[in-house]
Amino acid sequence: MQYRTIGNTTVSAVGLGAMPLSIEGRPDEERAVATVHAALDAGVTLIDTADSYHWHAGERGHNELLVARALARYGGDTSGVLVATKGGRGRPGDGSWTVTGTPAHLKRAAEASRKRLGVEAIGLYQLHKPDPAVPWADSVGALRELLDAGTIRAAGISNVDTARIREAHAILGDGLVSVQNQYSPAVRGSEPELRLSTELGLAFLPWSPLGGIARSSLDGPSGPTSAGTAFHRVAAERGVSPQQIALAWLLTRSPAMIPVPGASRPASIQDSARAAGLELSPAELARLDAVPPS
Helix (H, G, I), strand (E, B) or coil at 290: coil
CA gap 101, 151 in Å, rounded = 17
Helix (H, G, I), strand (E, B) or coil at 97: coil
74 included as an active-site residue: no
Q: If you write DSSP's letter for every residue of 134-202 in order, what string do you get?
A: S-HHHHHHHHHHHHHHTSBS-EEEES--HHHHHHHHHHHGGGEEEEE-B--SS--TTHHHHHHHHHHT-
Q: How far is CA 120 from the centre of its chain?
A: 22
Catalytic residue from among 3, 53, 74, 125: 53
Strands of 124-127's sheet in order across: 16-17, 46-48, 82-87, 124-127, 155-158, 176-180, 203-204
The residue type at 202: L
CA gap 226, 229 in Å, rounded = 8
Torsion sign over Cα 34, 44, 286, 199: positive
Q: CB within 8 A of 227, min separation 6: which ones?
A: 217, 218, 220
Q: At what angle do helices 103-117 and 136-149 cross, to 10 degrees?
A: 40
Residues forming the active site: 53
